[in-house]
């Protein structure tokens, strides 16, 4: 995998057991929700991808939120694409209205891509404005699920709004 600086980056798959243990203080299951199926930490990981939805302790500003992670692996088993997002889970609001923040590496560098969607760290970018996924900025620091989860965990622990 290459970023715009042509520096090779090797991104290893998330170690979900380690992540669930490391952040257990901010993870919360919701077995009894009114008018909704229960929410439990769950993930599916195989040789091709990881999909994870981890409900978090109730946030004083955003309510019941969760960490939603996706990784797609290449033939060598390394992360080719990732998306790590903090979203409102209850009520179910959809991708835009439920968005708090996200870090991704889907490229937006095609010649016809509008300038406002291009960033210096392409393909790595950060959707940094709550409730507005169209806003993007550079992402210099987050490359793994653990990187993103540690940031979200701090906001859950201190109860402050993002950013």
Task: Determine the average pLDDT of the residues in 33-58.
Answer: 96
Range of the domain at 90: 16-158
Instruction: Check residue 31 and give its pLDDT.
Output: 95
In a domain, 35, yes or no: yes
Beta carbons of 147 and 126 less than 8 angstroms apart:
no
Q: Which two tokens stand for residue 117?
A: 């969607």
In a domain, 59, yes or no: yes
- pLDDT reading at 147 higher than 90: yes
Instruction: Check residue 3 and give its pLDDT.
Output: 41
- Residue among 69, 70, 77, 107 at smallest CA distance from 10: 77
Residue 7: Cβ-neighbour burial (10 angstroms; 0-12, 13-18, 19+): exposed
- pLDDT reading at 16 higher than 60: yes
Domain count of the chain?
A: 1
- Residue among 53, 14, 9, 12 at smallest CA distance from 146: 14
- Top pLDDT among 120 and 107 is at 120
In a domain, 5, yes or no: no
Bridge partners (DSSP) listed for residue 55: 66
Instruction: Check residue 46 and give its pLDDT.
Output: 97
Please tell me the distance from the alpha carbon of residue 10 to that of residue 16, in angstroms, as a whole number: 18
pLDDT in tens, 62-86: 999 999 999 999 999 999 999 999 9
Long-range contact pairs involving 43-48 (C-beta distance under 8 Å, separation at least 24)? 43/16, 43/69, 45/13, 45/14, 45/16, 47/73, 47/77, 48/72, 48/73
The residue assigned the tokens 């599916």 is 44
Beta carbons of 19 and 149 less than 8 angstroms apart:
yes
Task: Determine the average pLDDT of the residues in 116-123.
Answer: 86
In a domain, 124, yes or no: yes
- pLDDT reading at 89 higher than 80: yes
**Other residues' Cβ atoms within 10 Å of the Cβ of residue 144:** 20
Instruction: Check residue 69 and give its pLDDT.
Output: 98
Beta carbons of 39 and 57 less than 8 angstroms apart:
no
Mean pLDDT of the chain: 91
* Angle at the Cα of 29 from the Cα atoms of 24 and 30, rounded to 5 degrees: 155
The single-letter DSSP state of residue 92 is T
In a domain, 4, yes or no: no
Instruction: Check residue 5 and give its pLDDT.
Output: 43
Band of residue 54 on the pLDDT scale cut at 50, 70, 90: very high
In a domain, 6, yes or no: no
- pLDDT reading at 40 higher than 60: yes
């Amino acid at each position: 995998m290459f970023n715009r600086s042509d520096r090779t980056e090797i991104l290893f798959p998330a170690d979900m057991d380690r992540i669930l243990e490391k952040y257990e203080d901010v993870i919360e299951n919701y077995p009894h929700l009114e008018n909704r199926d229960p929410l439990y930490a769950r993930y599916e990981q195989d040789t091709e991808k990881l999909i994870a939805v981890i409900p978090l302790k109730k946030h004083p500003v955003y309510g019941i939120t969760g960490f939603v992670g996706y990784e797609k692996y290449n033939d060598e088993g390394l992360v080719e694409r990732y998306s790590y997002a903090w979203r409102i889970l209850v009520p179910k609001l959809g991708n835009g209205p439920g968005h708090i923040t996200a870090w991704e590496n889907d490229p937006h560098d095609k010649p016809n891509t509008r300038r406002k969607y291009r960033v210096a760290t392409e393909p790595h970018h950060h959707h940094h404005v709550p409730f507005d996924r169209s806003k993007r900025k550079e992402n210099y620091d987050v490359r793994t699920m653990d990187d993103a989860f540690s940031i979200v965990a701090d906001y859950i622990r201190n109860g402050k709004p993002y950013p």
